Amino acid sequence: MTKVCIVGAGAIGSVIGGRLAHAGHAKVSALARGETLASLRKHGWRLKLGDKIVSAPVMAHPSAGELGPQDVVFIAVKGLALASVASSLSPLLTENTIVVPAMNGIPWWFCERIDELQGERLRSVDPDGSIASAIPTDHVLGCVVHGSAQQIEPGLVEETMWQQVIIGEPFGGSSARAERLLTLLTDAGCAAVSSTDVRSEIWYKLWGNMTMNPVSALTGATIDKILEDPLVREFCSAAMREAAEVGARVGCPIEQTPEDRHAVTVKLGAFKTSMLQDVEAGRQLELDAIVTAVHEIARRLGMATPNIDALLGMTGLFGRMRGLYPRGGN
């Protein structure tokens, strides 16, 4: 049976881990701490799916050394926690272990094999290179999660909207290991699909999140209110046009217009982004992987992005004034 470890049993990690464990095709463990660890040990995975709560067993520990080698490791922590988490993962990894970062924004490996960026690491995401050192890219499968969930209480998560999980080889193409993981996720009801260009899938998701997340954090507005305001909507569109130009330079073209994307996003209604939820809960902002990384890539390419720069500056200052953004920018 496939051994799967979930690193970060928050909202997204719990949906993936809980569904895999409930399906019974994997032996699922979790690396967790505090109240979440205590809840997992007492109750196992608990998912609220519609009107019912589904539970499944889990082996939960605070230390990777207690869990031992794994076949698949899903990383579902906040971006600011990744460096410290990555340094502790070595007991989970063997030569063939697959690492799947199910996280928001641009991953640490994104610039590798992009000639225009000379393969240099993103300092906004991996400032000292410790993440790349702890998790070699040959272990990684790229991942994009289109969906949302919320933690009702430690260890109890509600799946609020789930569309699909996209997985693929970081630098393109197909592979047997990606297909095996696809089958495992699909059998667990995770609506997974594979991609031969997962880097472009990552950029496409970022293209929408890069504006909606920080603007909602700044304003306290749900997505419907953001898109109802013509001035704010056009500001978001302008930043998205800049990001589309940057994406085209790094081999991740966007075929849609901002208005195309807004037409899809507005259907979510009065939806709270993850960054707005973080502000309301007093959690640190995942700004660097979502906005700072785009700003950094644009600077390396010599491209002007005044709207993205303004968004980064305002959201960074907002976070610093509230103690929610300790890094303080790139």
In the chain, the N- to C-terminal Cα span, in Å, equals 43
Task: Show which of 164, 196, 228 is a domain's final residue.
Answer: 196
Give the CATH number for residue 32: 3.40.50.720
Asked whether residue 256 carries a pLDDT value surpassing 60, the answer given is yes
For residue 150, name the pLDDT band (cuts at 50, 70, 90). confident
**Does 221 lie in the same domain as 172?**
no
**Does 252 lie in the same domain as 185?**
no
Alpha helices for 167-322 (secondary structure H): 176-187, 198-219, 223-228, 230-249, 258-265, 274-281, 287, 293-301, 306-321
Position 192 in a domain = yes
Position 65 in a domain = yes
Q: What percent of the chain has pLDDT over 90?
A: 85
Residue 50 confidence (pLDDT): 85
Using CA atoms, how far residue 192 sits from 45, 173, 180, in Å, is 20, 17, 11
Task: Show which of 181, 196, 211 is a domain's final residue.
Answer: 196
Q: What is the average pLDDT across 86-95?
A: 95
66 C-beta neighbours (distance < 10 Å), count: 12
- In angstroms, the CA 315 to CA 288 distance is 11
Position 191 in a domain = yes
The yes-or-no answer on residue 205 being catalytic is: yes
For residue 9, name the pLDDT band (cuts at 50, 70, 90). very high
Condensed to tens digits (0 to 9), the pLDDT of residues 56-89 reads 999 999 999 999 999 999 999 988 889 999 999 9
Give the CATH number for residue 317: 1.10.1040.10
Task: Show which of 161, 196, 231 is a domain's final residue.
Answer: 196
Using CA atoms, how far residue 112 sits from 137, 170, 236, 248, in Å, is 9, 9, 28, 16
The β-bridge partners of 153 are 156
- In angstroms, the CA 11 to CA 74 distance is 13
Q: Is 50 left (phi over 0), alpha (psi -120 to 50) or beta?
A: left
- Number of structural domains (the chain) is 2
Condensed to tens digits (0 to 9), the pLDDT of residues 111-142 reads 999 988 887 889 999 999 999 999 999 999 99
**Does 255 lie in the same domain as 140?**
no
**Does 186 lie in the same domain as 258?**
no
Instruction: Look up residue 240 and give its two tokens.
Output: 């998205």
Using CA atoms, how far residue 302 sits from 213, 296, 298, in Å, is 25, 10, 6
**Does 127 lie in the same domain as 16?**
yes
Q: What is the average pLDDT across 249-263?
A: 96
Position 327 in a domain = no
- Within 13 Å of residue 238, how many CA atoms lie on the same side as its CB? 14
**Does 240 lie in the same domain as 172?**
no
- In angstroms, the CA 75 to CA 140 distance is 11
- Within 13 Å of residue 144, how many CA atoms lie on the same side as its CB? 24
**Does 227 lie in the same domain as 122?**
no
Q: What percent of the chain has pLDDT over 70?
A: 99
Condensed to tens digits (0 to 9), the pLDDT of residues 192-233 reads 999 999 999 999 999 989 999 999 999 999 999 999 999 999
Residue 330 confidence (pLDDT): 45
For residue 312, name the pLDDT band (cuts at 50, 70, 90). very high
Asked whether residue 163 carries a pLDDT value surpassing 90, the answer given is no
- In angstroms, the CA 218 to CA 201 distance is 26
Q: Which of 3, 42, 205, 225 is catalytic?
A: 205
Contact between 87 and 18 (Cβ < 8 Å)? no
Q: What range does the domain containing 54 cover?
A: 2-196
Q: Please name which of 163, 161, 149, 240 lies closest in space to residue 203, comparing C-alpha atoms.
A: 240
- In angstroms, the CA 177 to CA 127 distance is 30
Residue 327 confidence (pLDDT): 66
**Does 212 lie in the same domain as 173?**
no
**Does 162 lie in the same domain as 44?**
yes
**DSSP 8-state assignment for residue 288:** I
Q: What is the mean pLDDT of the chain?
A: 94
For residue 329, name the pLDDT band (cuts at 50, 70, 90). very low
Asked whether residue 99 carries a pLDDT value surpassing 50, the answer given is yes
Contact between 214 and 311 (Cβ < 8 Å)? yes
Containing H/E element for 29? strand 26-31
Position 330 in a domain = no
**Does 259 lie in the same domain as 143?**
no
Q: What is the average pLDDT across 265-271?
A: 89
Residue 79 confidence (pLDDT): 87
Residue 120 confidence (pLDDT): 85
